[in-house]
Amino acid sequence: MKLKTRMILANASTVIIPTIITVLVALVAFFVFDKLFGSGISYEHQQKQSMIKVKLINETSTWKQTPEVLEEESYQKYLLEQLAEIHGELMLIKDDEVEFSSKKFSKIEVAKSLASGNIKGRNEPVVINDVSYTVFVTDLMYKEGSKGSLLLLVPVDRWETSFTGLIALVSITFIITFAITNIIISYQFSRSIINPLYTLQSAAAEIAKGNLDYSIVEEGDREIQELCRDLELMRIKLKESVHTQLKYEDNRKLLISSISHDLKTPVTSIKGYVEGILDGIASNPDKMERYLKTIALKAHQIDQMIDDLLLYAKLDLNQIPFDFERVDIAEYFQHCILENEPELESNKIVISFHNELNHKRNVLLDRERMKRVIMNILDNSRKYMCNDQGEINIFLRETVASIIVELRDNGSGINEGDLPHIFDRFYRADAARTKGSGLGLAIAKQIIEGHNGRVWAVSHGKEGTSIMISLSKS
């Protein structure tokens, strides 16, 4: 449920529920009063009683103009019949004497009735024989000069006497139920928000302590669930970021260690030959020349190593842009073979090209970067070639979506356990992998991946190794 919907329902419930309970209590009270007082509070009775009251009160003008009509027996009978319908009483007073009454009243009761009816602005009820009456007094003036009064005693409506109590009951019921409902709903509503917030607070405290394995459970309303989901994603991303940072830190330490190791050997050699020259060990021109050539070779190795390291770093940081163009893959590899064939032949290595493509196929390549890949792989095969007659065969094949390039040599091969790691920088798992800068295949992998391709190795045991390259067709 949405938090907004829950708030609307909670606010509406704090009013609707007390209202329903109050209405039910009022109906029950009305039912109880009806059973206690019979039909006295029925709608028909109330309507009939009101009509008779209004009818009698409207005749007061007639009584004032012709008070003698009240002395007629037939009219008195008519008034008694009307009053009997509402259980009322009648008193006709002339010259301070009761001329006619519907029943016998004592002098005290007559005085109380007169006193109650003569209070201006109020009709306070008078109690006669445990019955409350509202007194309506009409002053009369007879033609012969006598004064009198007509008193109508109308029973106080039992509904009216109970209405105040009913209103008080309904009001108290509404206030109590409103307070209880508000407390319950507020508690339930706050719990649905506070409990997930407590969970988030605990999770935040754990994450602040560095415990990134503390998962955040989705609970509560939809908005809070979305917040939990976002914070859980943030935790996962933060954990991955920390893991990556630690990995980079380990790689940095490994890089420093590997660079130190790889640079130490040629630097030590240079230092030894320089000291030999300074100490006069190179006493003749031939030996001096041999020392200097060795120093130049070692310096070249250091320079090549630094160049490879800078290139790898730039590729790793995506700082080298690729200049892609559509290239005929078979023609491109034939050209690469022609460029590298003389150097390989000088090392007694024969290179062969086998085009197994049925048709001309184009691939998006950066010519210079891909040439660096081929040179690194061929140079790697040349360095670790152990046969007197080395062979390198390049095969071009295709699948439905890609071109497969296989560069296979007949060298010493690679152990199966080392295959997944030979493209890692400075990998030194095997003694046969201790030559060179250790970055050649790592650079090749970076360039291939920059072409959205894939590179892997297949070992043929003592029969050599194949480097496989997969490139997407254009």
Tens digit of pLDDT for each residue in 138-165? 888 888 778 888 888 887 765 555 666 7
- Please tell me the predicted confidence (pLDDT) of residue 325: 92
Which of 139, 156, 173 terminates a domain? The answer is 156
Same domain for 256 and 395, yes or no, is no
DSSP states of 270-318 as a string? HHHHHHHHHTT---SHHHHHHHHHHHHHHHHHHHHHHHHHHHHHHHHTT
- Please tell me the predicted confidence (pLDDT) of residue 159: 56
> pTM of the entire structure?
0.47
When the pLDDT of each residue in the chain is averaged and rounded to a whole number, the result is 81
Rounded CA gap, 381 and 464, in Å?
A: 9
Same domain for 146 and 237, yes or no, is no
What is the average per-residue pLDDT within 293-304?
83
Is 70 exceeded by the pLDDT of residue 428?
A: no
Domain membership of residue 455 (yes or no) is yes
Token pair recorded at residue 164: 């105040």
Same domain for 68 and 104, yes or no, is yes
Whether the Cβ atoms of residue 451 and residue 374 lie closer than 8 Å to each other: no
Q: Which has the higher per-residue pLDDT, 293 or 261? A: 293
Same domain for 298 and 387, yes or no, is no
Whether the Cβ atoms of residue 229 and residue 220 lie closer than 8 Å to each other: no
Rounded CA gap, 177 and 171, in Å?
A: 10
Domain membership of residue 396 (yes or no) is yes
Is 50 exceeded by the pLDDT of residue 401?
A: yes
Rounded CA gap, 11 and 183, in Å?
A: 12
Identify the band that residue 453 occupies on the pLDDT scale cut at 50, 70 and 90.
Answer: very high
- Please tell me the predicted confidence (pLDDT) of residue 158: 58
Rounded CA gap, 467 and 458, in Å?
A: 6
Domain membership of residue 443 (yes or no) is yes
Identify the band that residue 234 occupies on the pLDDT scale cut at 50, 70 and 90.
Answer: confident
CATH code of the domain covering residue 147: 3.30.450
Whether the Cβ atoms of residue 330 and residue 359 lie closer than 8 Å to each other: no
Which of 28-32, 91-95, 425-429, 436-440 shows the lowest mean pLDDT across its residues?
A: 425-429
Residue linked to tokens 């109880």: 32
Which of 119, 134, 156 terminates a domain? The answer is 156
Rounded CA gap, 202 and 209, in Å?
A: 11
What is the average per-residue pLDDT within 208-225?
80
- Please tell me the predicted confidence (pLDDT) of residue 374: 92
CATH code of the domain covering residue 296: 1.10.287.130
What is the average per-residue pLDDT within 432-436?
48
The model's pLDDT over 317-374, given as tens digits with 9 standing for 90+, comes to 666 788 899 999 999 999 999 988 888 888 888 999 999 998 899 999 999 889 989 9
- Please tell me the predicted confidence (pLDDT) of residue 332: 93
Same domain for 311 and 403, yes or no, is no
Same domain for 246 and 350, yes or no, is no
Same domain for 355 and 274, yes or no, is no
Cα–Cα distance list, 313 to 264, 272, 373 (Å): 20, 31, 16
Domain membership of residue 175 (yes or no) is no
Q: Which domain holds residue 428?
A: 325-472
- Please tell me the predicted confidence (pLDDT) of residue 433: 43
3-class DSSP state of 259: helix
Same domain for 351 and 462, yes or no, is yes
What is the average per-residue pLDDT within 238-246?
85
Domain membership of residue 449 (yes or no) is yes
Same domain for 48 and 81, yes or no, is yes
Domain membership of residue 168 (yes or no) is no
Same domain for 289 and 334, yes or no, is no
Same domain for 306 and 381, yes or no, is no
Which of 134, 156, 178 terminates a domain? The answer is 156
How large is the C-alpha radius of gyration of the chain?
A: 57
Whether the Cβ atoms of residue 441 and residue 423 lie closer than 8 Å to each other: yes
Domain membership of residue 136 (yes or no) is yes
Q: Tell which residue, 468, 473, 412, has the closest CA to residue 445.
A: 468
Whether the Cβ atoms of residue 85 and residue 48 lie closer than 8 Å to each other: yes
Domain membership of residue 170 (yes or no) is no
Domain count, the chain: 3
3-class DSSP state of 147: strand
Same domain for 333 and 464, yes or no, is yes
- Please tell me the predicted confidence (pLDDT) of residue 207: 83
The strand pair at 349-355 and 390-398 is best described as parallel
